[in-house]
A and B are shown apart, each in its own frame.
Chain A
Amino acid sequence: MRVGLEVDGKARTADDVEVGESLLFLLRERLGLPGSKNACEQGECGSCTVYLDDEAVCACLVAAGQADGRRVVTVAGLSGDDGLHPVQQAFLDAGAVQCGFCTPGLVVAVHDLLRRTPDPGDAEIREALAGNLCRCTGYEKIFDAVRAAAR
């Protein structure tokens, strides 16, 4: 089937999309957009988190056909012409990136948290990021980045 959608502000079309294919596969393998990472493919790790219309979701759990006619924003779409988004910059400044595999999903999840809760407490950060796993940082630097981006 053909799937047409907007990704990071650009209209995109993919042909020969299979019925059971995920949005993540479509983004990475058919459109060549590797920003969203493929790790667990079962919604456990959050590394493929993207916006689908206005909601941050796991792209691996969205059927590609469900995204037809909808708007997707990946981590790559958060930065503008004037450089990195403040959340992305905060991750760099705080050293919240080690291997980097979880980072794209975490950046989108933190972006979503801060647009709804501009000054989150630790419990709110914990609940908001419960679906994003990092196996390197121990999360302390990530929390630092969230607090820095909130300022």
Chain B
Amino acid sequence: MTDTAAFLRPATLDEACELKAAHPDATPIAGGTDLMVGLNFGHTRPAALLDLTAVPELRAWRRTDDAVELGAGVPYARVVAELGDDLPGLARASRTVGSPQIRRRGTVGGNIGTSSPAGDALPSLLADRAVIEVRSVRGVRQVPAGEFFLGPGRNVLADDEIVVSVRLPRARGPQQFAKVGTRNAMVIAVASVAVSLDLTANAVACAVGSAAPTVVVPEPAETYAADHLDWSGRTPLHPEVAARFGELVAEGTSPIDDVRASADYRRHAVSVVARRLLGWAWAEAVRPRGTEGTR
């Protein structure tokens, strides 16, 4: 860290945007659960830190008729505690993040800004076609999650922009998330999958993490499942449909061999996890009336 480095601590969103414009090389920090690791080990030496934890606008969420606008600085623990009914998929994913200590600090906005394909919140955002709001002194942009991420650690943010919030539709059916790793806590996903059912539109949504340079949406698998589920009769999921769905989800990925797993293992894991998630979600959908779409 150089002597000229600055620790910037805005108290409002406007001030945060002004500081980011004045210090385009400043690295935003919220929970610090990713960034501080690099700082502690001397791998990262940002010219300045822009601490967003004192900006109240970023730490709130609000419910609209059909959506939730989730501030980028809302920590995972609050997503789990407060949004399990509106956003069950994201809440499930949030509960798998790190440990309790990490979930109290880490934020969905941090996952978005870090833009790792292994970010636990990201499959739910892409599956549910979330829209990310970014802001600068130049104005506000709404970026679909599917267009935000360009590669590992790369996204469409300009130097003067910060992630403000993400808008997700409120669940219209069961939502599932699961990830594969070496233990239940504190793992970076070897592969992760989100599956959402829309019982109003009779649609299936899916996204896969850690199995391509960005989180990917396997659209052919979504269409296949939507075409093969018995939406009106709610008869049990046919095992062949579930298996074919898993295969199609895996075909939508492009995994690599790395220290955490081989590409072949990832493809297999994605196929198995996707198959199971569709089964779990559909099992929720066929429960007696009155409990549909709830957990």
* A interface residues (Cβ-Cβ under 8 A, vs B): 1, 18-22, 41-44, 46, 49, 55-58, 60-63, 65-66, 68, 109, 112, 127-128, 130-132
Q: A127 to B45, Cβ gap below 8 A? A: no
Which residues of chain B (22-55) have a CB below 8 Å from chain A? 29, 31-33, 36-37, 39-41, 44-46, 48-49, 51, 53
**Residue among A1, A19, A66, A127 facing the most chain B CB atoms (10 A cut-off):** A19
- 16 residue pairs A–B, Cβ–Cβ below 8 Å: A20-B39, A22-B39, A22-B40, A46-B99, A58-B33, A58-B102, A61-B33, A61-B37, A63-B7, A63-B36, A63-B49, A63-B51, A66-B29, A112-B100, A128-B100, A130-B99
Q: A20 to B104, Cβ gap below 8 A? A: no
Contacts of B102 in A (CB 8 A): 43, 58, 61, 131
Contacts of A109 in B (CB 8 A): 100-101
A61 to B36, CA, bound (A): 5
Q: How far is the CB of B8 from chain A (nearest CB, A)?
A: 9
Partner of A41, one of B32, B40, B99, B104: B40
Q: Is B140 an interface residue (CB 8 A)?
A: no
A12 to B31, CA, bound (A): 23
A18 to B6, CA, bound (A): 9
Residue of A nearest to B46 (CB): A20
Interface size bucket, B side? 20 to 34
Q: B32 to A20, Cβ gap below 8 A? A: no
Q: How far is the CB of B133 from chain A (nearest CB, A)?
A: 24
Cβ proximity bits B1-23 to A, threshold 8 Å, 1 near / 0 not: 10001110100000000000000
With known contacts A19-B7, A65-B9, A130-B100, A58–B105 Cβ distance under 8 A: yes
* Further contacts, 14 of them, CB under 8 A, given A61-B31, A63-B51: A19-B1, A19-B6, A19-B46, A22-B40, A41-B41, A43-B101, A57-B105, A61-B33, A62-B36, A68-B9, A127-B100, A127-B185, A130-B184, A131-B100
With known contacts A18-B5, A20-B49, A131–B99 Cβ distance under 8 A: yes
A14 to B224, CA, bound (A): 61
Q: B40 to A56, Cβ gap below 8 A? A: no
Q: How far is the CB of B19 from chain A (nearest CB, A)?
A: 14
Partner of A61, one of B32, B41, B46, B53: B32
Q: How far is the CB of A128 from chain B (nearest CB, A)?
A: 6
Residue of A nearest to B99 (CB): A131
Q: How far is the CB of A1 from chain B (nearest CB, A)?
A: 6
Q: How far is the CB of A15 from chain B (nearest CB, A)?
A: 14
Partner of A62, one of B7, B46, B105, B185: B105
Contacts of A22 in B (CB 8 A): 36, 39-40
Q: A19 to B186, Cβ gap below 8 A? A: no
Q: B186 to A61, Cβ gap below 8 A? A: no
Q: B104 to A130, Cβ gap below 8 A? A: no
Residue of B nearest to A45 (CB): B186
Partner of B40, one of A46, A60, A128: A60
Partner of A49, one of B40, B48, B101: B101
Contacts of A21 in B (CB 8 A): 1
A112 to B77, CA, bound (A): 14
Residue of B nearest to A105 (CB): B101
A65 to B49, CA, bound (A): 9
With known contacts A43-B33, A63-B36, A130-B185, A57–B101 Cβ distance under 8 A: yes
Contacts of B33 in A (CB 8 A): 43, 58, 61
Cβ proximity bits B263-292 to A, threshold 8 Å, 1 near / 0 not: 000000000000000000000000000000
Q: Is B98 an interface residue (CB 8 A)?
A: yes
A56 to B105, CA, bound (A): 9
Q: How far is the CB of B115 from chain A (nearest CB, A)?
A: 19
Q: A60 to B36, Cβ gap below 8 A? A: yes
Residue of B nearest to A131 (CB): B99
Cβ proximity bits B83-113 to A, threshold 8 Å, 1 near / 0 not: 0000000000000001111101100000000
Contacts of A43 in B (CB 8 A): 33, 36-37, 98-99, 101-102
Residue of A nearest to B185 (CB): A130
